[in-house]
A and B are shown apart, each in its own frame.
Chain A
Amino acid sequence: MKISIQINASPYQHQAADSAWHFIQAAILAGHEVYRVFFYHDGVYNALRDARPPADERDIVKRWSTLHADQGVDLVVCVSSAQRRGLLEHSVAEKVGGYENALADGFRIAGLGLLMEAVIEADRHITFGA
């Protein structure tokens, strides 16, 4: 089955990012395809390159980057959610004088159109976080 994922909540404070990641691991293990993970609202904080959790804790941002590197899962951050929160794409940051290296490896920034496309393309769309 082709599955599309949406994450609405920031990591560490809410369970959404953990639940989504475990769900994706189980889905891939069961032979399903994860078409895209779309990070919306506070979910964009999952893409902060400079997150440095304590060494004995799970690294949620790195998990996503690894998921992209190992499984090629498309990680898309909502552009309007991200810009509101100061998470800028390299080219935009250059233009407006913002921090240019905000986005962790494997993530890309795009609009709601990519969420809509994933919802239409996938057999199931599952949202984590209110």
Chain B
Amino acid sequence: MALMAAAFDQRVVLLFEGDGVYALMKNQRPEVIDLKDVSPVLKALSIYDINDISVEKESMDARAMVAKQLVMPVNIVSRGDIKRQMASADQVFSF
């Protein structure tokens, strides 16, 4: 969806919160449970000019995650920041 929006020249902001933050964990072995590796897609986001990627600090804290466990550098922001970013968007899509 983000890639499609970017292909339509839309400004895309990607926000990770709740269990969604696990998507950013590095050293995943998805093949163990017969799933596809999504990290190549995450790393390709910049090719589509999607550089505005944030993860909610409270969600990371609740899951004992720290910045160095992330698959790539992203903005670690507060819940208030996430809310402000959502409020400023024309459209919000939740996955």
Contact = CB atoms under 8 A, between A and B. Distances in A.
B94 A120 contact: no
Contacts of A112: 1, 4
A118 B91 CA distance: 12
B4 A130 contact: no
Interface string B1-39: 100110110100000000000000000000000000000
State which size class the interface on B falls in.
Answer: under 10
Contacts of B91: 119, 125
A120 B4 contact: no
B94 A130 contact: yes
A126 B89 CA distance: 14
Contacts of B93: 127
Interface of A: 111-113, 115-117, 119-120, 125, 127, 130
Given A113-B7, A113-B8, A115-B1, 4 more contacts: A112-B1, A116-B5, A116-B10, A117-B8
